Every structure is written in C-alpha cells, then in structure tokens.
Amino acid sequence: MTKDKDSPQPGMARGKAKGGGQGTDSSVERAIGSRLRAYYDELAREPVPDRFVDLLKRLDDDSAGR
C-alpha cells in the first residue's frame, strides 16, 4: 500500500480546522509539504558529526561490555 505524498498525516485535518476556524488552502499545504520534504532531504544527506559517531561508538562499547 502506497501513501499519497499530499495526503494528510494521521491526526492532521484537511479543510476547516477544528473549532470552525478558517481552513488551509490545499495549494498552501502542498507548498509547505514540498518545502519541508526538501529541507528534510537536504538535512538527511548531511554527514553525521564526528562527536556523535564517537558517542555512538562509546555507547556500543559500553553496552557490549555488560
């Protein structure tokens, strides 16, 4: 089963907001989603900082020694 990239996530309403407020235009939702995906994709391509790699290695070493 594939998800439509523009379909709302669980807990997110389309159209009118809860409480009868003004709804968000679907083109605005698509633009926000597109920019968030682009930002996340860019961030995911960044290398993991050395200090995090060192920390993860130390944690693995500690848990292996138990």
Query: Whole-model pTM above 0.85?
Result: no
Half-sphere exposure of 32 (CA within 13 A, CB side): 8
The domain spans of the chain are 26-64
Q: When comparing pLDDT for 66 and 58, which is higher?
A: 58
Q: Three-state SS for 25?
A: coil
Q: Which of 38, 11, 13 is nearest to 26 (CA)?
A: 13
Average pLDDT of the chain is 79
Distance between CA atoms of 2 and 15, rounded to whole angstroms? 23
pLDDT band at 13 (very low <50, low <70, confident <90, very high): low
Distance between CA atoms of 14 and 22, rounded to whole angstroms? 11
